[in-house]
Amino acid sequence: MIDLHAHLLFGVDDGPKNKAESLKMLQQASNEGITEIICTSHVMHPQYHVNYSLVEEQTIYLRQALEEHQIPIILHTGHEVRLHEELHTLIMQKQLHTLANSNYILLELPSSTIPAYTKRMIILLKAAGYTPILAHPERNYAIREKPTRLEILIQEGALTQITAGSLTGLYGKEVQRLSLALVRANYIHTFGSDAHNVTSRPFLYNRALNYLEKQKELDAVDQLLKNNALVIANKPILPLELDKIYTKKWWDFFTI
């Protein structure tokens, strides 16, 4: 299994504080059956900005640590890129990591709003050959208030990524219910843990997939895992059944 979103680099953002904590996270991931992870430290965030070279250096360092401790996980470079008006310029200047050196970029919206320039930025990225994947849209207040706002961004060419903890209830029942509704409405394309540690924000990968299976969303589980693999391989993700989105309102899927 492939995890497209985890904060594994230590001492750089709100993830692990030291090498020992990173290794605990990697062991936890391995125990869950995860075999590949993209290290997505924050960049252009109001509180954290992990520069391009530091991501490369620490990823190499952790790869060596994995070999020493015989933990069978492949690590890739990446960034969780906070939406910013200079984003297009910075990615063209190769100052931002895409996901595993692919043409996919993990994009984080502010927690409470969708900036007016979001659509323009998606269009610019697509025109430059990059596909933005919106991280944890279910935790954005504006989308929670009106989920059809996410549909507009998808129509412009953005993909989305659900967080494992959202599906398991880590962020509350409201976020959990919305997460399932978004999956059922085909608003979700990929899946990530957004793990930060082994306690308060662990991987929860299998618990989330098991939850979807219990909700009889077996096809969604298969599609999410398949799409994760396509991202790593830098292959196109085929459009979902978008007619399902446009012929039903999002709240038609808001059931558990």
Q: What is the 3-state secondary structure (H, E, C) of 25-62?
A: HHHHHHHCCCCEEEEEEEECCCCCCCCHHHHHHHHHHH
Domain boundaries, the chain: 2-253
CA distances to 118, 125, 213, 222, 233 from 219, in Å:
30, 30, 9, 5, 21
CB neighbourhood size of 148 (10 A): 13
Q: Are 220 and 191 in contact (CB under 8 A)?
A: no
Q: Return the bridge partners of 76, or none.
A: 38
CA distance 253 to 256: 9
208 three-class SS:
helix
Q: Which helix (H) or strand (E) holds 145?
A: helix 141-145
CA distance 175 to 147: 12
CA distances to 180, 190, 252 from 187, in Å:
10, 10, 13
pLDDT cut 70: percent of the chain above it: 93
CA distances to 144, 191, 204 from 45, in Å:
21, 22, 24
pLDDT along the chain (256 residues), means of 10: 97 96 98 97 95 97 97 98 93 95 97 94 95 97 92 95 97 95 94 96 96 96 96 86 47 48
Helix/strand/coil percentages in the chain, nearest 5: 45, 15, 40
127: CB partners within 8 A, 6+ apart: none
What residue has token string 């952790």? Answer: 62
Tell me the per-residue pLDDT of 117-172, one tens digit each, with 9 for 90 and over.
999 999 999 999 999 999 999 999 999 999 889 999 999 999 999 999 999 999 99
Per-residue pLDDT, 238: 73
Tell me the residue length of the chain.
256
Class of domain 2-253: alpha beta
Residue ranges with strand state E in the chain: 2-6, 36-43, 74-82, 104-108, 131-135, 159-163, 190-192
CA distance 239 to 159: 10
